[in-house]
Amino acid sequence: MPKENTGNGILLGTLIGTAVGAAAGLLLAPKSGAELREDISNKVQTLSSKTQELASTVGSKTKELVADVKEEVTGLADHAKESNQNIKDSLASSTDEIKEQLKSSAN
């Protein structure tokens, strides 16, 4: 499994585990209904905030990765074009030399 996927899986597992643990702790604690609802609401807001931060981080990292890949691909394409042109120039030069040699041989 690629390293990136492993990290995301661990992070997702941690978030889910935290949410389940927090919910279990709140539901099993001896509190009044109003206090329990308030605690649950606070935990949901905290989890929502952390999820939004995570989504933002993933989004920015994805944009960075796309930019890096695009830059790398552009560099490779430019290198391929340059290599192709060098081969064409070399073949044209060799063709001209052969033509000259054939003319010299014919005379």
> Each residue's pLDDT tens digit in the chain (107 positions)?
445 556 677 878 887 888 888 777 767 777 777 887 888 788 889 988 988 888 888 888 899 999 999 999 999 999 999 999 999 999 998 898 888 888 888 76
CA distance 72 to 49: 35
Residue 7's pLDDT is what?
A: 65
CA distances from 68 to 24, 37, 41, 54, 71 (A): 43, 46, 40, 21, 5
Asked if 12 and 58 count as a contact pair (C-beta separation under 8 A), the reply is no
Alpha helices by DSSP H, listed for the chain, are 3-28, 33-106
Residue 107's pLDDT is what?
A: 66
Domain extent listing, the chain: 3-106
